[in-house]
Structure 1
Amino acid sequence: MAATPTPRPKPPDPPAGNPARVALAGLQLPLPLAVAYSGGADSTVLLLAAAERWPGQVHAIHVHHGLQAAADDFEAHCRAVCESLGVPLQVRRVAARNAPGESPEDAARNARYGALARAARDAGLQAVLLGQHADDQVETLLLALSRGAGLPGMAAMAPVFQRDGMVFVRPLLALPAKGIRDWVAEQGIAVVEDPTNSDIAFTRNRIRHLLLPALEDAFPQYRETFARASRHAAQAQELLEGVAAEDLARMGGVPAITALQVLPRARQANLLRHWLRVTHAASASAAQLEELLDQVADCRTRGHQIRIKMGAGFVERQGERLDFRHPREGGDPGRP
């Protein structure tokens, strides 16, 4: 008896009523481009709409994290869908290990973006579309607030950004998750379901399953109002980045202690955060930054030393300037 063939996912042809259609309709993007395709509902509607909007110009990239038993099934599903659509698919496997001071979630996210950027560059693609939607944006904002984030966290996810030499675009940020999932169910489209999404041991899942329904009851327009608040935060952060860049440029691109001391403390903090992030891809906790500001204020003699842990490295005093060094750069800095 012949083996029963594996059922293939059903793509709608054409994808009438796809909620991602409107989101893509007005976009003018460099071609060809890729869709980051996990096989879930969000990336599925995005892939279907993109393939219709730019026929023959769309690729798919699937990142295989290998973090759960179903990962191979996810890959097989994505291959079958892309074959049915005639969309080229790249699969990239990553093994994310978190660095000291980095959470496993951040490590997985960084590995994913790096893999997407490399795959897109290797294929000569100009941009990568991501499937995050309005509920993801709210979750990101609430997660940032729960951690006491400042303006960068309150700005949540940018609709367009560059990373690892690639342009990333999030065209679905105005679409609610329910509209996406309802359409997928109505069309009978097969999608993968990540079993970890229901595990409320993760903070993001607690927000999704416990907090968002309560917000829906109390403030039905919360997606729009929260998105507006994030846009205001992003605008304010852009202004602060401009001020920091100007302050740093006046110091020759490296924080100078005497020049820092004449600035208000808040402006010093703004400059130092900018310098760490832009020049050294590093960040400081609130406590670390406060300690550094205190040390800069107390630095009145040549013999006053500064060496403060910041992320995976150290900020040190080098003469009249500050320097950031990683321990593996010439041994343990600050030791004779």
Structure 2
Amino acid sequence: MSEAFERALAAFEPAQWPLAVGFSGGADSTALLAACASRWPGRVVAFHVHHGLQAAADDFERHCGAVCERLGLPLVVRRVDARHAPGDSPEDAARRARYEAFAAMARTDAGRSAVRSIALGHHADDQVETLLLALSRGAGLPGLAAMPAHAARHGLDIYRPLLAVSAADIRAWLAARDLPWIEDPSNGDARYTRNRIRAVLLPALEQAFPQFRTTFARSIGHAAQAQQLLVELAAQDLQTVGEPPHIKALQALSRARQANVLRHWLMQAHGCAPSTAQLDQLLDQVRACTTRGHRIHLKVAGGFAERKGDRLHWYNAPPSPKT
């Protein structure tokens, strides 16, 4: 029996009921579903996303149905189109499809009443993999903060109560209860970066730094706290520079604060995030904007940042030449 697993579940309490558990049929979600169902009988529903990407997808759904029948739980299945566009990451496309399905669940009835809470089975190994992926991409604090234990998105509370529990501890808990789970064949596909991290880097870290899950989690917590401070500072600065931002007010801030508030504004107002190179170009143009005739027109994320009068605007398409 895993004490770490038991402690994590004892500390978890959703704010709203009923609770959905994201259920793929794998070990992590199986353990989470069974533990939640045992702790809160009659208040838990299993939610399975059918991605349709593998021949075995229908078998996954049938397995989930059999487990839910054994546990006496309702199962809600949502089928999604998780195919990725050319140049897009298959993993990212599947993740976006899952979260869109979660958001849709919050807007509809999940067999009883509208669901506002969902628990996901991400664990300590997943958290380390997420951090290493962020480092490999040169991510900033939002990426280094990895996955939050709790987040609110699209009217849904998303919980990850197992982030301090290793994959091995979860499987030990399952084995003690003779609960079946399935292994996704794609988890062994070395074409996916996350799978290579799991197969190569995690064993090496285990050998070199046996406590790496705990120490990495501490660093993730520091990054998350620092990111929260940046968000609060950006919100204050945005009140000062206005929406859309006043260029002279931006220039009164340090370059770091300009970058911070512009990222915040673009995400909050337009749902987009500039690349590091795009943001550096935009900051250079803001600094150089000292005359009335200075023009700013830059590609930023999926649209364009442009000066209009004394303010900086963002458009999701090139503005008309008459504007």
Q: Could you say whether these structures have the same fold, taking a TM-score greater than 0.5 normalized by the shorter chain as the test? A: yes
Residue 228 (structure 1) aligns with: 218
Post-superposition CA distance 1:308-328 (Å, at most 9, x none): 22222222222211222212x
Is the 8 Å Cα contact of residues 20 and 49 (structure 1) preserved in structure 2? no
Residue 25 (structure 1) aligns with: 10
In the alignment, the residues of structure 2 paired with residue 120 and residue 81 of structure 1 have an alpha-carbon distance, to the nearest angstrom, of 23
In the alignment, the residues of structure 2 paired with residue 185 and residue 198 of structure 1 have an alpha-carbon distance, to the nearest angstrom, of 22
Q: In the TM superposition, what are the counterparts of 1:241-256 in structure 2 within 5 Å?
A: 241-256=231-246
Q: What residue ranges of structure 1 are gaps of 5+ in the alignment?
A: 1-15
Equivalent of 2:54, from 68, 80, 96? 68
Residue 7 (structure 1) aligns with: none
Shift of residue 18, structure 1, vs aligned partner: 8.3
Shift of residue 334, structure 1, vs aligned partner: 5.4
Is the 8 Å Cα contact of residues 258 and 320 (structure 1) preserved in structure 2? yes
Q: In the TM superposition, what are the counterparts of 1:1-336 in structure 2 within 5 Å?
A: 20-29=5-14, 30-96=16-82, 103-123=89-109, 124-327=114-317, 332-333=318-319, 335-336=321-322
Q: Secondary structure of the residue that 2:47 maps to in structure 1? A: strand
Which letter does structure 2 place at the counterpart of 1:41? Answer: A
Which letter does structure 1 place at the counterpart of 2:55? Answer: A
In the alignment, the residues of structure 2 paired with residue 171 and residue 26 of structure 1 have an alpha-carbon distance, to the nearest angstrom, of 8
Which letter does structure 2 place at the counterpart of 1:113? Answer: Y
**Corresponding residue pairs, total:** 317
In the alignment, the residues of structure 2 paired with residue 220 and residue 193 of structure 1 have an alpha-carbon distance, to the nearest angstrom, of 26
Which letter does structure 2 place at the counterpart of 1:49? Answer: A
In the alignment, the residues of structure 1 paired with residue 172 and residue 135 of structure 2 have an alpha-carbon distance, to the nearest angstrom, of 29
User: Identity, % of aligned pairs?
Assistant: 60
In the alignment, the residues of structure 2 paired with residue 173 and residue 67 of structure 1 have an alpha-carbon distance, to the nearest angstrom, of 27
In the alignment, the residues of structure 2 paired with residue 234 and residue 216 of structure 1 have an alpha-carbon distance, to the nearest angstrom, of 24
Is the 8 Å Cα contact of residues 244 and 274 (structure 1) preserved in structure 2? yes
Q: Secondary structure of the residue that 2:76 maps to in structure 1? A: strand
In structure 2, relative to structure 1, the CA distance for the partners of 1:101 and 1:288 (3 Å cut) is: farther
Post-superposition CA distance 1:21-51 (Å, at most 9, x none): 4322233322111000100000000000000
Shift of residue 304, structure 1, vs aligned partner: 2.1
Q: Secondary structure of the residue that 1:143 maps to in structure 2? A: helix
Q: Secondary structure of the residue that 1:149 maps to in structure 2? A: coil
Shift of residue 203, structure 1, vs aligned partner: 1.0
In the alignment, the residues of structure 2 paired with residue 59 and residue 120 of structure 1 have an alpha-carbon distance, to the nearest angstrom, of 13
Which letter does structure 2 place at the counterpart of 1:313? Answer: G
Is the 8 Å Cα contact of residues 50 and 77 (structure 2) preserved in structure 1? yes
In the alignment, the residues of structure 1 paired with residue 46 and residue 106 of structure 2 have an alpha-carbon distance, to the nearest angstrom, of 9
Shift of residue 185, structure 1, vs aligned partner: 3.7
Q: What residue ranges of structure 2 are gaps of 5+ in the alignment?
A: none
Is the 8 Å Cα contact of residues 18 and 49 (structure 1) preserved in structure 2? no
Shift of residue 120, structure 1, vs aligned partner: 3.6
Q: Secondary structure of the residue that 2:245 maps to in structure 1? A: coil
In structure 2, relative to structure 1, the CA distance for the partners of 1:19 and 1:86 (3 Å cut) is: farther
In the alignment, the residues of structure 2 paired with residue 325 and residue 82 of structure 1 have an alpha-carbon distance, to the nearest angstrom, of 48
Is the 8 Å Cα contact of residues 120 and 128 (structure 1) preserved in structure 2? no
Q: CA RMSD in A?
A: 1.9
In the alignment, the residues of structure 2 paired with residue 300 and residue 26 of structure 1 have an alpha-carbon distance, to the nearest angstrom, of 55
Is the 8 Å Cα contact of residues 19 and 44 (structure 2) preserved in structure 1? yes
Shift of residue 186, structure 1, vs aligned partner: 4.5
Shift of residue 96, structure 1, vs aligned partner: 3.1
Shift of residue 102, structure 1, vs aligned partner: 5.5
